Amino acid sequence: MAQADKCQRPLRVLITAAAGHVAYSLVFMIAKGACFGPKVPIVLILYDVPENQDSLHGLAVELNDCCYPLLNGIEITPDIQLAFGNFSVAYLLASSPHKPGIQRGDLIEANAPEFKSYGEALEKYSRKNVKVIVYGDCMNTNLFICSKYAPSMPQENFTTVAQLNINRVKAQVALKLGVPPTCVRNVIVWGNDSSTTVCDISKAKVIIDENEVKVKKAIDDCNWIQHELPSIVQRREDDIVDCQEKSAGISAAKALAQHTRFLFSICVPRSYICMGVFSDGSYGVPCDVVSFFPVCIEDCKWTINKNLSPSQFIRDLIILSGCELEQERDKALAILEG
């Protein structure tokens, strides 16, 4: 196994809502090298509300007891200035979990002030070259708000995570075709992370009996592809919450780890990569919203992949999801600015 580089300065990684369910799985992924690779030493900065500092202490004890060679330190704080004052990568996890019966508007209302305060803290206390990964319900709108209140921070520094949606599509396609999910590639998701997320398998391929074929051809069921598959993926989080009364934890952390490895070019993908990034108007998505797009990564910098030509059916769905993003952005701004 690769050894941690003892000469390298540890990477300082901030996690917000760190006493929560998603963070509980994520910290172990980071500490064992699943996010930044097996050679990068890590200091974790765990930020949560004062009432949950005991949980953070318990988490730190568990992490220490794992004896991960990469983990060089754990800092725990309810102080936003301390948390945001010295880090290189932040996972800004939303604190309002999805619950049965909760409306999307309620989540926007709960998240907007929190991500405003994260944006203000980034602006005041953080270096301008940090990378910020935003995750959780309404993540694309949360990123928009966070970046708006951190105006001197380049927009390229911010991304949201589309990988869980991609993994969910891959898992369903694999199930339908009776193959392992690793045989499925080139799934794309566009738009918002909501009931309008666009699952696009028009370019996806699958290996069946050692031959790579188009997923569309292998499935050959237009209704399943256009309606049933997106509906399963969009309902997935509700299904999990209904069963275990909390959000997805392990699968969310795995998606965050994959996103990180792509973003920092730690692994070279065999497939399209998708992320939530600021729109430049590509594919008819309005400018000034954050949307899932296929992206290319070079030297840890993303650019929107503009070489794809989605079908008219997919284009219409992307535009619909873009309209929802505009509405959510405007709702969040109205809450914050009156």
User: Which residues contribute to the annotated binding site for NAD(+)?
Assistant: 48, 111
User: Per rule CB under 6 A, is residue 237 in the interface with ligand NAD?
Assistant: yes
DSSP letter (8 states) at residue 246: S
The residue among 36 and 135 lying less far from ligand NAD, judged by its C-beta, is: 135
- Which residues lie closer than 8 Å to 216 by C-beta, 6 or more apart? 201, 202, 204, 225
The residue (of 99 and 306) whose beta carbon lies closer to ligand NAD is: 99
- Separation in Å, CA 149 to CA 6, 114, 144, 261, 300: 37, 11, 9, 27, 24
Residue 157, CA distances (Å) to 28, 183, 185 in order: 24, 32, 27
Q: Which residue in this structure is represented by tokens 């690779």?
A: 37
Comparing CB distances to ligand NAD, the nearer of 94 and 218 is 94
Sequence-distant (≥ 6) Cβ neighbours of residue 4 within 8 angstroms: 38, 39, 40, 41, 69, 70
Nearer to ligand NAD, 43 or 139 (CB): 139
Q: Rule CB under 6 A: choose which of 71, 74, 90, 94 binds ligand NAD.
A: 94
Return d(Cα 221, Cα 99) in angstroms, integer. 33
- Assigned token pair, 29: 């992924």
CB atoms within 10 A of CB 70: 20
What is the CB neighbour count within 10 angstroms for residue 54? 11
What minimum distance in Å lies between the beta carbon of 237 and ligand NAD? 4
User: How far is the C-alpha of 113 from the C-alpha of 35, rounded, in Å?
Assistant: 29
Among the listed residues 72, 95, 126, 157, the single contact to ligand NAD using CB under 6 A:
95
Q: Which of 15, 68, 84, 98 binds ligand NAD (CB under 6 A)?
A: 98
Using the rule CB under 6 A, is 252 a contact of ligand NAD?
yes
Taking contact as CB under 6 A, which single stretch among the options 63-71, 154-162, 244-252, 302-310 is the one that binds ligand NAD?
Answer: 244-252
Range list of β-strands (E), 220-309: 273-278, 290-298, 301-304
Question: What is the smallest separation between the CB atom of 247 and ligand NAD, expressed in angstroms?
Answer: 3
Q: Dihedral, CA atoms, 168, 169, 170, 174, nearest 10 degrees? A: 100
One character per residue 116-145, x = contact with ligand NAD (rule: CB under 6 A): --------------------xx--------
Helix (H) or strand (E) holding 31: helix 21-31
Tell me the residue nearest to ligand NAD as measured from the CB: 20
Binding span for ligand NAD by CB under 6 A among 18-26, 82-90, 177-185, 273-281 = 18-26
Binding residue ranges: 48, 111
Site string for ligand NAD, 161-200 (x = CB under 6 A): ---x------------------------------------
> How near is the Cβ of 259 to ligand NAD at its closest, in Å?
13
User: Which of 33, 52, 74, 108 is the binder for ligand NAD (CB under 6 A)?
Assistant: 52
Is residue 114 close enough to count as binding ligand NAD by CB under 6 A? yes
Continuous segment of H or E residues that includes residue 159: strand 158-161
- Residue 22 in the binding site for ligand NAD (CB under 6 A): yes
Q: Compute the least distance from the CB of residue 69 to ligand NAD, in Å.
A: 27
Q: Is 20 in the site for ligand NAD (CB under 6 A)?
A: yes
Burial (CB count within 10 angstroms: exposed 0-12, middle 13-18, buried 19+), residue 298: exposed
Applying CB under 6 A, does 49 fall inside the site for ligand NAD? yes
The nearer residue to ligand NAD, 82 or 207, going by C-beta atoms, is: 82
Per CB under 6 A, residues contacting ligand NAD are: 16-17, 19-23, 48-49, 52, 93-98, 114, 136-137, 164, 237, 246-248, 252
